[in-house]
Structure 1
Amino acid sequence: MPRNGTIETETVQAMPSRSKAAPADVERQLDRVARLVRARRTPEARRLCQDLLKIHGDRPRACHLMAVTDLFEGNHHDALQWLGRAIDGDPRNVAYHCDHGMALARLNRHAEAIDAFQRALDIRPDLLEVHFQAGQSLRALHREAEAMTAFRHIVRLRPDAFDAWMALAETSIGLKQFEDAVAACQSAVALRPQMAHGHYLLGIGLYNQNRTDDAVAAFDRAIALEPAHHPARFARCLARLQIVYADGAEIDRRRAEYAAALDELRSTYLSGSSSRMLAGALDAVGAMQPYYLPYQGENDRELQGRYGDLVVRIMAAAFPQWQDRPISPASRVDRRLRVGFVSGHFHTHSVWKMPVKGWLEGLDRGRFVTHGYYTQGYRDPATDEAAARFEHFVHGPRTVAEWAQLIRRDDPHVLIYPEIGMDPTVAALAALRLAPVQCSSWGHPETSGYPTVDYFLGSDLMEPADADTQYTETLVRLPNLSVAYEPVAVRLLATTRRDLGLGDHAVVFAAVQNLAKYLPAYDQVFPRIAREVENAQFLFVENASAIVTAAFQNRMQAAFADDGLEWQRHCVVVPRMSMDAFATALSLCDGFLDSIGWSGCNTTMEALNVGVPVIGYAGWSGRGRHTAAILNMIGMDDLVAHSVDDYVALAIRMAKDPQWRQDVAKRVIERRERAYRDPACIRGLEDFLENAVARSLRR
């Protein structure tokens, strides 16, 4: 596989495509052009080829060589024109179709590129380089399963195809198939053990299997081979944040390791480093983030502040023109405030469903102009819905610099990042100053730590009294839940309890959060309930990694054994499901148990949508009080526990008192509408936006 992702040099060299009718001297001149192209002497190649075209007309090979010259020089639109003329003259030439596909791919016209590659493969199905490029375009269109088929076809026929193994690894990581990713990385590393990026990808796969020490060792190897591999340096630090932990002592140990590694990372980049070295770390920003830090259940303000400061300094070194707060936007004929939403989740995702969709629908268009900046390439019906609701909508992917230029050109008064901590492009953009007022929110309910983010848009019902101490941003307590949630329509399937491995006569509690939300400190909740409710069952959903799931199961097994119980009798772990299948599984449960520490929100709403009684827990932080706030909003705060003992007692009562359980379910159905489409939070958001802009004008 070609390392630079191009194939035209090979096709120029291997497929001259001489025309039998062409004079020998013309072919010799075209051979010379091909040699100049391979030597990257494109100006000379272009002049000679243009002379030949003037004298001899549109010879297909000459048109193709002009196209290749344009491809090397980045003139992809011009290349397409020449390739069209070459193909018209010789439609059976594989090289022309290959490079046609390459030009289209470079213009992000990947669907057309795939068609071009397929035309080449119809002529020569044995060209593995073309299978590789088709796979890359399939990946760009988020057709990962088809891309995997292409890459597997290559490595089956050519086990030494390093680039195909690497692409297979990257695609597997994107699909969260981490066992496959690790296997592909190991094959790639065996072929090229001195290639740092192979070790880096291996570390990413191992990290997502909760194999922390193995992952750190892989990142260490990548750094040893390539000291300037900045993503590996960041990943070596961030890998200390595991997905699940064996016990509380392991959380404490890994948190201390992370703090020490973060200090080391800051020292590497901030102690006497040049701005050039800082700017060089741009590709590390967002590649891996401290996503799992808040799952430890602690106040992360100090750690996030240290991390955010480093990221902002890197971005300032890379883009000094965007490090200062812009002056207030100039007056325009349209005097409405321009509000931009920047996200990688304008598709079917909790970030779109919870904060963004309702805000966007409710904002007064007589006072606000809405801009949507969707940083990713994936598209589904929710993307189309978002595009229709925003007055201005721009769809990625683009580079950070391209996004920054585009946003600054739109001159927004306010930028809202619904989450900071998940999308890599958002992580970089939020560290720049692209608007006078910049906000984050609880799409990922954690302080960003970024000095460039002014406000955190939180919920008055969720945030505790002392919540200001948990944010580097100024906390804004929007009314009620802070979101105008619109319930999602689902289709319940014909699935039965037995299909899920549940007992027909069991009292089933849904415990269907991300397994990382279940902290070891609260494992005993489940056996304590089961000890009093012999027929209790708890429904969990597996992690993408079988190793992570097994680690959680081992904890459950130990917790139940401590109470003299068999965990298999009470715990059922099911595969990840589609939205409809998930709603169906919830509907088969007798109750929904909130996760203690990091509460459910979108999942809780989905449980209410199918009429399942919910038991909440009022934690110490905003992210620990999502469900409690929802229950408060619908007037069912009697189902909110304020201690573990209260929580267990509520669950036991729900299991043993079927009449009360039915009454609770009836109240859920009668009152759940109170949590939907809340206009108060929209009015609160509007007031905040106008006041924040007014304050920015006085700076």
Structure 2
Amino acid sequence: MYQPSGRSSMTTAADHFRAATAAWAAGDHPEAERLAGQALAVDPGHADAHSLLGLARLQSGDRGAALPHWRAAAALRPDVAAHRYNLAELCRRLNDPVSAEPEFRAAAELAPQWAEAHFGLGNVLGDLGRVSEALAAYDRAVALQPSFARALYNRGNLLREEGRVVPAERDYRAALAADPDLTDARVNLGAALGELHRWSEAERCYREALERRPGDADLEAALAGAVLAQGRTAEAARLMEACEPRAASPALTRMRREALLPPVPDSAAALAAAHVRLRDALRRAAADPPRLDPGRVHQSGAEPPMGLAYHSADPRPALEAFAALYAPQITPLEPLSPKEGIPRVGVVVTHGHEGVYDRCLGRLVERIAARERVAVALVCSRSGANVLRHLRPSFPGEYLVLPAHVHEAAERIRGARFDVLHYWEIGTDATNYFLPYFRPSRVQCATWGWPVTSGNPRVDWYVSGADLEPSGGESHYTERLCRLGSLPTCYERPPAPPAPPAPAARRRTFGVGPDVPVYLCVQNLRKWHPDFDATVAALLAADRRGRLVLVGDEQPAITQALMARLRRALGPNAERVGAIARQERGGYLRLVSHADVVLDTPHYGSGANTVADAVACETPLVTWPGPFQRGRWAGAVLGRAGLNPLVTRSAMQFVETAVRVANDEPFRRELAAGLRAFGAVWFDHPDAAVELEGFWLEQVAR
């Protein structure tokens, strides 16, 4: 056969590769894969053909088949940044971050101005938990490409996981400015705003995201949660009902909707009706229990409503009914044998509750850890560990960081082999509510961070104080009740500002005249039971000059709902009731120190925080203890201080005492002196730490 001069009859690897790239560009991926394979049949060392064949295999969904080709491309041409990057990204997607890291580093060194390489390095360093290095890599990617939306979004995610929610918000907003269609950034911006308690803005984000993802059940649930957090219970219920057919568990969504309790009930009758609906929902659920998905309980919203603690009834029956639904669905873990050495105790502090834990229990746990008779670890989220280290840098114990999924968190705790697991709260979020069902430790204890029983038969003890519990108080708990002899805190003295000695100077802070007594209530407005309205009406009738000041809720709708109810209950006297916006710590303590008297709420009253603040500010606190622990903290502290006149036994006595304190300045000064003397010995007292340590050691010995 005649051959033209100067040309070979053989098709070269380069010819096959050119044809393959043309097929790929035309969208004919199977043909591109076939031609790349022919190129390699001619020249097995053709790095670009390996790269294209790996891309084709990846496009077909076979990551494993792509790996040897991209590994070969990187080995044949280690000086090509794209080959190193492709191999790195594939290793990361195959859950091999250790192999991915050096390849990403090589790509970034070969092409230092390539933002994508630094972005990939940030991703894999984040996977490896090397947060500061990951953030530095993202910083470099964004510096090179300021509108790099994915890098901004991923950096925001990492910052948020670290507890740095404010800079995370900035990154999410910048990512959306660069790419308004990056809906995940809008969703996570909503989540970040929720963590900052800016729920109206979170609601807006979720609504905008739903416009781009209509029918997304998880987004609809997030929107309902944001509306509920603002106190719009009826609207949240309608949203839940609308999304119920699309929910992962329609029955669970229905039960959650039916179990909603209003944060500020319109009346005692409305509150009673809500509890009837809850009991009916639990009865229906008992006949056909909604199914739990262990991988989703951390975001299910299936935990009992927190309103059960705020109301006057005993919550134990309802909490036991919830536990009867869930306990059979969660298999407890097999315990591991204890570690050698001193006993190990894990103290569980879940996300968002670090500040209140540190003020109420942080110093006590720190004292125990410093004694070294017990090895103490704080069991928390990654962001929580950062917050706790900042709040209490002198804590000598360890940290066990938990994943977000509850069943994975339980496995990690089990692997730590604690002798005792001590929960600061059980029931304030999905994690601390569902985690005990897995029984990741042989002994599990609840304590007064949430002042009601868990209802969970797998929680062994509830640790309280003898002064906090009434006679027969053990009947309020499904757990065995431990009554410590001391008040169960080592509370450090708050930085209270000195109050002016003259009433007129104090009252000026509230913008009233020198002869106008100021009654201050700083309690969470959810604690304002309708029963309290008549007591407040009697107080304002008894002191015609007095003014009642409340501290408003973070969510305006909740403050508005209570003020509307008080206007109905108080009539014209409601004009002498006002709400002050929530304050930073210093401003809040100034309010307490300048008030004439602080009023406790019935049923669920002041906890350790409010009582300690009143003691430090030397401001008399009038209380009316209830039948449950959650209404007895103020009475216990004032009883220890020998200030029994402030501990009343009826609504009439409550009113008479408050009016006397506010109007009888010598009497008030006498009470303030008693608070000063008590504070000198109570704050940071070590007895409670010694007693709690002894209780833990006793459980280990058993």
The TM tier, using the shorter chain, reads 0.7 to 0.9
Q: Secondary structure of the residue that 2:456 maps to in structure 1?
A: coil
Distance 2:499 2:132 in 1: 33
The one of 524, 527, 540 aligned to 2:537: 527
1:311 matched residue in structure 2: 326
Contact 1:281 1:314 in 2 (8 A): no
Q: What residue in structure 2 maps to residue 106 of structure 1?
A: 127
- Equivalent position SS for 1:641: coil
User: For residues 151 and 511 of structure 2, what CA distance do their matches in structure 1 show?
Assistant: 45
Separation in structure 1 between the aligned mates of residue 693 and residue 73 of structure 2, nearest angstrom: 65
- Residue 263, structure 1, aligned to residue 269, structure 2: no
CA contact (8 A) 2:619 2:672 kept: yes
Deviation of 1:595 (Å)? 1.4
Give the Å deviation of 1:658: 1.3
Question: Is this contact kept in 1: 2:122–2:138, CA < 8 A?
Answer: yes
> Once the 2 structures are TM-superposed, how far is the Cα of residue 607 of structure 1 from its aligned partner?
1.4
Partner in structure 2 of residue 200 of structure 1: 221
Determine the C-alpha separation between the residues in 1 that align with 2:385 and 2:613. 23
Secondary structure at the residue paired with 1:513?
A: coil
CA-CA distance at 1:620 after TM superposition: 1.1
- TM-score of the aligned structures, taking structure 1 as reference length: 0.86
Does the 8 Å contact 1:346/1:383 carry over to 2?
no
Alignment of 1:60-139 (within 5 A): 60-139=81-160
CA distance in 1, matches of 2:581, 2:601: 19
Q: Structure 1 residue 622 and structure 2 residue 629: aligned? A: yes
In 2, distance between residues paired with 1:537 and 1:466? 39
Q: SS at the partner of 1:524?
A: helix
Q: Are 2:212 and 1:191 equivalent residues in the alignment? A: yes
The whole-number CA distance in structure 1 between the counterparts of 2:336 and 2:98 is 37
Q: Which moved more, 1:359-368 or 1:139-148?
A: 359-368
Structure 1 distance, partners of 2:304, 2:393, is 28
Distance in 2, Cα, partners of 1:645 & 1:411: 54
**Paired residue for 1:247, among 257, 264, 267?**
267
* 1:347–1:382 CA contact under 8 A, matched in 2: no
> What is the correspondence of 1:188-587 to structure 2 with a 5 Å cutoff?
188-228=209-249, 232=253, 235-238=256-259, 240-269=260-289, 279=294, 282-284=297-299, 289-316=304-331, 322=333, 326=335, 329=338, 332=340, 334=341, 336-344=342-350, 349-362=355-368, 365=371, 367-379=373-385, 382-384=388-390, 386=392, 388-397=394-403, 399-489=405-495, 501-503=511-513, 505-561=515-571, 564-565=572-573, 567-568=574-575, 570-587=576-593
Distance 1:457 1:675 in 2: 20
Amino acid of the structure 1 residue aligned with 2:324: D
User: How far 1:530 moved relative to its partner?
Assistant: 2.2
* Aligned residue identity for 2:192: T
- Distance in 1 separating the partners of 2:642 and 2:606: 18
Give the whole-Å Cα distance in 2 for the aligned partners of 1:395 and 1:442.
Answer: 23
Distance (Å, rounded) in 2 between the aligned partners of 1:345 and 1:226: 25
Partner of 1:141: 162
RMSD: 3.0
Deviates more, 1:83-92 or 1:660-669: 660-669
Shift of the 489–234 alpha-carbon distance from structure 1 to 2, 3 Å rule, reads farther
Alignment-derived partner of residue 683 in structure 2: 676
Q: Secondary structure at the match of 2:330?
A: helix
Deviation per CA, 1:353-395: give whole Å up to 9, x if none: 2234224414783643323212351356753565743433323
Q: Is the 2:299–2:430 contact (alpha carbons within 8 Å) kept by the matching residues of 1?
A: no
Instruction: Name the residue aligned to 1:4.
Output: none
Unpaired runs of at least 5, structure 1: 1-11, 14-23
> C-alpha deviations, 1:83-121, integer Å up to 9, x for none?
110000001112212222222333344444343333223
CA deviation profile, 1:190-249 (whole Å, cap 9, x unmatched): 3322111121011101111222222122222333123437874564344x1221111111
Match in the other structure for 2:8? none
Q: 501-510 or 511-520: which moved more?
A: 501-510
In 1, Cα distance between the equivalents of 2:115 and 2:353?
38
Whether the aligned pair in 1 keeps the contact of 2:385 and 2:399 (CA below 8 Å) is no
Moved more, 425-434 or 634-643: 425-434
Inter-partner Cα distance in structure 1 for 2:376 and 2:254: 38
Instruction: Provide, for residues 315-369 of structure 1, a one-character-per-residue CA deviation record: whole Å limited to 9, x for no partner.
Output: 32xxx5x0x5x48737x3x3x3332212227975222222342244147836433
Give the conservation status (yes or no) of the 8 Å contact 1:375–1:425. Answer: no
* Equivalent position amino acid for 1:540 in 2: L
Tell me how far apart the structure 2 counterparts of residues 380 and 135 of structure 1 sit (CA, whole Å): 16
Aligned partners of 2:192 and 2:213: how far apart in 1? 19
Q: Secondary structure at the match of 1:635?
A: coil
- Provide Cα deviations, 1:36-65, integer angstroms capped at 9, x if missing partner: 334442222221122222322232111100
Aligned residues: 655
Query: Scaled by the length of structure 2, what TM-score is found?
Result: 0.86
Cα contact 1:493–1:581 (8 A) shared by 2: no
Are the aligned partners of 1:155 and 1:161 in contact in 2 as well (CA < 8 Å)?
Answer: yes
Aligned partner letter, 1:656:
N
- Partner amino acid for 1:370? V
Asked whether the equivalents of residues 147 and 175 of structure 2 are also in contact (C-alpha less than 8 Å), the reply is no
Segment of structure 1 superposing worse, 405-414 or 521-530: 405-414
Query: For residues 501 and 105 of structure 1, do their structure 2 counterparts lie closer, same or farther at Cα, with a shift above 3 Å needed?
Result: farther
Going from structure 1 to structure 2, the CA distance change for 1:657 and 1:180 (only over 3 Å counts) comes to same
- Identify the residue that residue 187 of structure 2 maps to in structure 1: 166
2:671 aligned partner? 664
In the aligned structure 1, how far is the partner of 2:387 from the partner of 2:245? 45
Relative to structure 1, the CA distance from residue 211 to residue 226 in structure 2 (aligned partners, 3 Å threshold; closer, same or farther) is same
In structure 1, what is the Cα distance between the partners aligned to 2:404 and 2:187? 23
CA-to-partner distance for each residue in 1:382-414, whole Å, 9 max, x for gaps?
A: 535657434333234554344333332332222
Q: Cα 1:492–1:380, aligned 2, differ >3 Å: closer, same or farther?
A: farther
Q: For 2:614, which of 585, 607, 613 is the aligned residue? A: 607
Which range moved further: 485-494 or 370-379?
Answer: 485-494
- In 2 relative to 1, CA 329–80 (structure 1 residues): closer, same or farther, beyond 3 Å? closer
Moved more, 385-394 or 541-550: 385-394
After TM superposition, the structure 1 stretch with the greater mean CA deviation from structure 2, 255-264 or 296-305, is: 255-264
What amino acid maps onto 1:421 in structure 2?
A: G
CA distance change for structure 1 residues 623 and 85 in 2, over 3 Å: closer, same or farther?
same
Q: Equivalents in 1 of 2:283, 2:162: separation in Å? A: 39
Distance across 2 between alignment mates of 1:138 and 1:686? 36
Aligned counterpart in structure 2 of residue 50 of structure 1, from 55, 59, 71: 71
**Contact 1:282/1:314 (CA < 8 Å) preserved in 2?**
no
Residue 554 of structure 1 deviates from its aligned partner by: 0.7
| In structure 1, distance between residues paired with 2:354 and 2:338 | 33
Cα deviation, 1:241-274, whole Å, max 9, x if unaligned, reads 221111111111111222222334444436xx7x
Q: Identify which range, 210-219 or 153-162, moves more after superposition.
A: 153-162
Q: CA deviation at 1:589?
A: 1.1
1:441-466 Cα deviation digits (max 9, x unpaired): 01010100111101111111111112
Q: 1:387 to 1:479 in 2, by over 3 A?
A: same
Q: Describe the shift of the 1:348–1:140 C-alpha distance in structure 2 as closer, same or farther (beyond 3 A).
A: closer
What's the secondary structure of 2:463's corresponding residue?
A: strand
Q: Structure 2: any 5+ residue segments left out of the alignment? A: 1-23, 26-44
Question: Residue 82 of structure 2 aligns to a residue in which SS?
Answer: helix
- Quote the Cα distance in structure 2 between the aligned partners of 1:145 and 1:364: 34
Identical pairs, percent? 24
